[in-house]
Amino acid sequence: MNEPKNIGQGLDRIDGLLKVTGAANYATDYKIKNVAYGVIFKSTIAAGEIATIDLSEAEKLPGILTIITHKNAPTLNVKGGIRGGALLQGPKIEFFGQHIGVVVAETFEQARYAAQLVKVTYRNGEGRVDFEKLAKEAELPKEKDKADKRRGDVDAAMSSSEVTIDAVYETPIEHHQPMEPHSTIAVWEGDKLTLYNGSQIVNGAQSAAAATLNIPPANVRIITPYIGGGFGSKGGQWANLVLTAVAAKMINRPVKLALARQQMFNSVGLRQKNVQRMRLAATKDGQLTALAHETVTHTASDAEFVEPCGDCSKLMYATPNSLITYRVFPMNVMLPTYTRGPGKSTGSFALESAMDELAHKLNMDPIELRIKNEPAKDPSNDKPWSSRTTVQCLQDGAKAFGWSKRNMKPGVTMEGDYLVGYGVAAGTYPARQRDTSALVKLSRKNNEVEAIVELAASDLGTGTFTILAQTAADALGIPMDKVAIVIGDSQLPPAAGSVGSVGAASFANAVNDGCIKITDELIAKSGKQFFKRPTAREMMLTEKLASFESRVDAKPPAEAENYSVHSFNANFAEVWVHKTTGTIKVQRMLAVTGAGKILNPKTARSQIIGGNVWGLGMALMEESVLDPRYGNFVTRSLADYHVPSNLDIGTIDTIFIDEDDKVPNKLGIKGIGEVGIVGVAAAIANAIFNATGKRVRDLPITPDKLI
C-alpha cells in the first residue's frame, strides 16, 4: 500500500458544505409528488384494551384520506424485526403512548387536527408501572448472555477482606433525542416499496420492513444518505416505519410521517432504569480480592431487553473473585433499547464510582488504585489483549490535566464561593469489524482518473463520507476531490451498520480492501511486472482504460477472535459546586482515548466531544420521570427533559494515544463513537465528591442532592 497522504489528517468533512447550506437531504426532505401526510395517535392508558374508537368527527373533516386502526390494518408479521410492537394488530394496550391509529390526510395540519378528534374508550387493566414495587419480582433474564457469571467466591472474599465497599447506584430512564426525529416517506410502485428513512443499519431496516410487511427484501429499498443523529434509536426500526408503508399502500399514493418531539418519548425505545449493587473487596494496599456487580432492571411487558451493565466490570480490573448478575421484570413501559454506550456508560458509573469510594477509604490516589489492579489479560475469558492502553490513558491524562494539584481531602479546595474538585474514571468499549461489501468504480478521461465507491453504509453525522474518501484516495493514488462516496442505499453492496462502534472499522477496511483488489486486478490485466507497485490511477493511465470496476466482500480477520479487542479511555473532570446553592459547573473535561488508528483526528475529536457532552447530560441533567399512577412520562419535551446547552459546557480537551494494533483489522481501526461517553458520568460524580465530600449514587446529580 502507498504511503498515506490523507489518512491521519484532520480534514474538513466533504459533506460539510451541503449540510450548512441545507442542500443535504434527510428522510423527509425529498420532493415526492402527490405526497399525503400521516399522523399517529396514541393510547392514554398503560394497560388494558381498546373498547371503542369513534372516528366520526375526524372522518368528516376536509382532506381526510383514511384513518387506520386495528380494525382495518392489514395483518403484519409481528416477529418480522420491528421493535416495540405497536403495529395496530389488535386492541390490547401494553404501554402508555402505544400507537393505536394513523390519520392520513392531504396536509399535515388536517391529519394532526383529525387525530385530536378521535375518541377512544378503554377497558382498563392493572398497569405495572411502579419500579420500586415491581423490582421485588425481578427474575433471571431469558437471554443466555445475561446468565450469572461467577469466578471464585465473592461472598467469602467479602467477609474476609480488610477493606470493602457495598453500595447501590441508580441510573434513570433516559431518552434518545436526536436532532432529527424519526421520520419516513413511503412510496409504492406496484409491489416495490421505497422508504426514505433515517436508518443506522441500512440492510437491517430493509429486512425488518420486508419481513414485517410479508414481502421479499428485494422489493424494499431503503434510502438514507444523511441521518440527523440516532444514538442507537435508529439502529433497530420501530413501528412508525412500517405504518407509513401501510398508509401509503392503503391510499395508493406516497405518505410522509414524522414523529413529533413529544411522540419520541414513547415511540422509539429508551434507556432503561438500572439499580446496580456494587461490592468491592481489597487488601489494605489496594489489591482487589473481589468484585460483584448485580443489576436489577425492567423491560417491556411483551418483550425483553436488558442493558449489559456488567460488561466493564467483567474485564476492567484484575480480581480472583467476580460475580456479574442481571435480574429483570416486566413493566407497562415502552421496550428499552440500545442507547449510546449501552451498558458500558451506565455500568461504568457504578463501577468507577465504587472504585473511587474504595480509593478514598484506602486513602489512596484513585489513579494509583486503578493501575495497581490492571489485568495482564482479559479476566472474563483469559484471552490476551490485542492491546490495552488504560494505564497510558490514565498517566498521560493525569499529566495533561494537572492531576497532581488535586487535594485528596474532599471539600476543602475553594475558588470564591465554589468548592472545587477533580475526578477521574476509566472505561472501555469493544472494537470490532463486521462483514461489509464495497464496489469501486474507476473512470478515466484524458489524464484524469476518478473513483466512485459504493456501499450500503450510513453516516449518522460522524464523518463517514470523509474518512471513506480519505481511505480510498490513499489506496488508489487519487486526489480526494476525485473520489465520490455513495452510501445510504440498500441497493448498494451490503454493509454493517453505524452501531456498536463498528462503522468506521467495517466500512474503511472494506473500501481499503476493494481498492487493493482493483489495483491487483489492473496489474494482472496489464500482464506486466513492476519493480515498484503502481497505483490504480497509474494503471488506468498507462493502460489507457476508460473504465474499470471491482467488488470486494470484506470480512474481519479470523485471528481477531483469539484476542480481547477493545478501545480504552480515561476521563477527567474539574467541577465547581456553589457552596450555598449546590449549582454545579463542569469547568474542564479531558478525554484520553486509545482507539487504534485515528483516520481523521478532526472528526474523531468531534465524536469524543459529543460523547463527553452526552456524559455530562447523563451525570447532571437527563432523567425521564414516569408517573406511577398512569404510566406516562411527566417529561415529554425538551423543555422539561433537560439536555446540555452551550452554556453548560466548559473546556473539553481530547488526546488520542498513538496505538498500532492490527489484530482487529488490517487498518488497525477501533471504534470511538461510544467509548467517548463511557467514563464521563463517573468522572463528574467523583469530582463532585472531591469538591463537596458528598457521594451521590443516583443520577442525575442535581443541586437538591448536594445542599
Hey, which residues are catalytic here? 674
Q: How far does CA 293 lie from the centroid of its chain? A: 23
CA-to-CA distance for 294 and 385, rounded, in angstroms? Answer: 25
CA-to-CA distance for 451 and 454, rounded, in angstroms? Answer: 10
CA-to-CA distance for 429 and 499, rounded, in angstroms? Answer: 12
Residue 621 near residue 641, CB atoms below 8 Å:
no
Contact partners, residue 198, CB within 8 Å, separation at least 6: 26, 27, 180, 182, 183, 224, 227, 228, 230, 234
CA-to-CA distance for 71 and 90, rounded, in angstroms? Answer: 8
CA-to-CA distance for 558 and 544, rounded, in angstroms? Answer: 38
Question: Largest Cα–Cα distance of the chain, in whole Å?
Answer: 81
Name the 3-class secondary structure at 109.
helix
CA–CA–CA angle 507, 513, 518 (5° rounding) = 125
Q: At what angle do helices 680-692 and 601-620 cross, to 10 degrees?
A: 50
Residue 331 near residue 632, CB atoms below 8 Å:
no
Residues present in the chain in total:
707
CA nearest 43: which of 99, 113, 124, 87?
99
**Assigned C-alpha cell, 206:** 430493509
**Assigned C-alpha cell, 264:** 419520541
Q: Which DSSP letter does residue 55 get?
A: -
Name the 3-class secondary structure at 637.
coil
Amino acid letter, 616: L
Q: Is 278 left (phi over 0), alpha (psi -120 to 50) or beta?
A: beta
CA nearest 366: which of 398, 337, 341?
398
Contact partners, residue 555, CB within 8 Å, separation at least 6: 433, 435
Burial of 8 (0-12, 13-18, 19+ CB in 10 A): middle
CA-to-CA distance for 702 and 707, rounded, in angstroms? Answer: 9
**Assigned C-alpha cell, 662:** 492490527
CA nearest 169: which of 325, 289, 294, 271?
294
